[in-house]
């Protein structure tokens, strides 16, 4: 699963803003990469004012830092498109200007990750990987993010 860690100052993001950011990141990742939305996960972390420094001084303005870990194998154009989209959509969801959104994408080799108890496939091998899961594992995976 691509995992996006969002870091912001304590109290900057309300629960509705976090939900909007999570939905925006999930949608952007799925639309740019073609991955199913249920693969994306978003984790929020809040930091105290005296725990975040820039230039050796406490951070004095509102920022959201999005640190994404995705499977390697996407083109440079797709990575740039994903970053641009995340800046725009997170900015809108957080009600902050684009300069306040910093995005970092880290690529991890597929064979260096395990999800749902299985080492991930290389890009292009997702269908075969999914078909090799048990029916119960496939069902559980594909219902993530669906509201009952």
The answer to whether residues 90 and 7 touch, using CB atoms and an 8 Å cutoff, is no
CATH number at residue 112: 3.30.429.10
pLDDT of residue 147: 65
Q: Tokens representing 91?
A: 């900015």
Rounded to an integer, what distance in angstroms lies between the CA atom of residue 71 and that of residue 74? 8
Rounded to an integer, what distance in angstroms lies between the CA atom of residue 143 and that of residue 93? 25
Note whether residue 40 is domain-resident: yes
Note whether residue 147 is domain-resident: no
**Measuring CA to CA, how many Å separate 115 from each of 50, 72, 129?**
35, 15, 11
Note whether residue 148 is domain-resident: no
Note whether residue 101 is domain-resident: yes
Higher pLDDT, 144 or 88: 88
What is the chain's mean pLDDT, rounded? 91
| Total structural domains within the chain | 1
pLDDT of residue 10: 94
Rounded to an integer, what distance in angstroms lies between the CA atom of residue 43 and that of residue 7? 9
Q: Tokens representing 70?
A: 């995705």
Residue-number span of the structural domain to which 25 is assigned: 3-142
pLDDT of residue 35: 84
Strand partners, 126: none
> Tens digits of per-residue pLDDT, 36-77?
888 899 999 999 988 999 899 988 889 999 999 998 988 999
Query: Which among 28, 12, 130 has a CA at the least distance from the CA of 70?
Result: 28
Residue with tokens 């995340």: 86
pLDDT of residue 109: 92
The answer to whether residues 65 and 102 touch, using CB atoms and an 8 Å cutoff, is yes
């Amino acid at each position: 699963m691509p995992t996006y860690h969002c870091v912001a100052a304590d109290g900057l993001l309300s629960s509705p803003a976090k939900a909007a950011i999570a939905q925006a990141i999930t949608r952007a990742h799925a639309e740019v990469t073609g991955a199913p939305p249920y693969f994306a996960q978003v984790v929020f972390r809040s930091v105290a004012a005296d725990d975040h420094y820039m230039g050796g001084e406490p951070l004095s303005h509102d920022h959201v830092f999005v640190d994404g870990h995705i499977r390697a194998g996407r083109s440079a154009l797709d990575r740039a498109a994903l970053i641009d989209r995340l800046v725009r959509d997170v900015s809108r969801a957080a009600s902050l200007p684009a300069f306040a959104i910093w995005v970092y994408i880290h690529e991890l080799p597929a064979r260096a990750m395990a999800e749902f108890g299985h080492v991930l496939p290389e890009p292009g091998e997702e269908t075969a990987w999914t078909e090799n899961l048990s029916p119960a594992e496939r069902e559980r995976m594909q219902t993530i993010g669906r509201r009952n």
